[in-house]
Amino acid sequence: MALHVIVGAGAIGTATARLLAESGERVRIVTRRGGGPEHPLVERVSADIGDTGRLVELLRGAKTLYNAAAPAYQDWRTAFPPLAASLLTAAERSGVPYVLVGNVYGYGEPRGPLTPDLPMRPNSDKGRVRAAIWEEALAAHEAGRVRFAEVRAGDFIGATAVGLFPLAAVPAVLAGTEAVLPVGLEHRHAWSAVDDVARTLVAVGGREDVWGRAWHVPSTSELSPRDLMGRLAAIAGAPEPRLRTMTPRELDAAVAADAVMAEIPEMAYQYDRELLLDSSDTERLLGVRATEEELVLKEMARSARRAGAGLPASID
């Protein structure tokens, strides 16, 4: 029974911890407040991720380190680099292989389906942060100081997903009210189910031939945002969705009123064109397949029903 250390207890960290524990593996999940799922094989630890020495102690005897933590979205420029540096240093000192949850920001503007071997060409502040974290860890791997790999996903969907559409669109769509978004709605887009991200992380962490590269999570859907929300509404028995993109004036007001919303405009390019991921390596070499779109959307609808969204009593 191996020990795995997971940093972060958000949707991805929690799903990964549960997946490992349910397979009989021991998990130590590390967060600032000591949160995480309850399970006999999950140990929840409160620690400062910036305390590298403490992280090294917590990694003693571990088989794999998974980093599913990130600072508040508006703090990425200042808080993410030291957090990532502490984790990388702890992995180096402990000798524990390191799997990082990444995203596609570092690629910059998509030109056709994104493949995991593309160079970093960020065109945003947050993209430059992500690219620098990747490049620093990759350099450490190539220098023989650590075994490292990154798992990159599209936008998260699922019952526990957190992100622009789960937070700003899904509740309105299921309630039958208008959803006004700060991004475009018409282009095909890669959507990653939370559980598929966890399955990809565990698949990478369980092998010896995966290091020194990025892996893409298979997309559970490639529908445009508008079509995806339409599909969700149909499955949930909700009215036809009413979605629109904010006007420039509405966007300016939203940016002025909310620190997180102020971070959205530089990333809006991702919705102004098709953004798709090539995950063929993950499927062929790791054996991970995407969960069917309908299953993920049904679970999202069931979760909303349990939360009292006034949806039909049964979603088959």
| pLDDT at 308 (0 to 100) | 62
Residue 311 has pLDDT above 60, yes or no: no
User: What is the span of the domain harbouring residue 263?
Assistant: 156-189+221-275+291-306
In a domain, 20, yes or no: yes
- Quick check: is 35 in a domain? yes
pTM exceeds cut of 0.85? yes
Considering the domain architecture, whether residues 166 and 49 belong to the same structural domain is answered as no
- In a domain, residue 316? The reply is no
Same domain, 146 and 231: no
Rounded to whole angstroms, the Cα distance separating 113 from 274 reads 8
In this predicted structure, the answer to whether residue 159 has a pLDDT above a threshold of 80 is yes
Mean pLDDT of the region 67-84: 97
- Going by C-beta distance under 8 Å and a sequence separation of 6 or more, which residues neighbour residue 145? 92
Q: Do residues 143 and 99 both lie within one domain?
A: yes
- Do 246 and 109 share a structural domain? no
Q: What pLDDT does 202 receive?
A: 98
Q: Are residues 181 and 102 in the same domain?
A: no
Residues 170 and 268 in one domain: yes
Residue 281 lies in a domain: no
**Same domain? 143 vs 251:** no
**Residue position matching structure tokens 């680099």:** 81
- How many structural domains comprise the chain? 2
User: Above 60 in pLDDT, residue 272?
Assistant: yes
* Predicted confidence band of residue 276 (pLDDT cuts 50, 70, 90): very high
User: Given a cut of 50, is residue 179 above it in pLDDT?
Assistant: yes
pLDDT range class, residue 1, cuts 50, 70, 90:
confident
Tell whether 87 and 144 lie within a shared domain.
yes
Residues 241 and 147 in one domain: no
Residue 314 has pLDDT above 90, yes or no: no
List, for residues 187-230, the tens digit of each pLDDT value. Answer: 999 999 999 999 999 999 999 999 999 999 999 999 999 999 99
- Do 130 and 247 reside in the same domain of the chain? no
Regarding whether 231 and 196 lie in a shared domain, the answer is no
Query: What CA–CA distances, in Å, run from 53 to 15, 56, 87, 94?
Result: 27, 5, 10, 10
Contact 275, 189 (CB under 8 A): yes
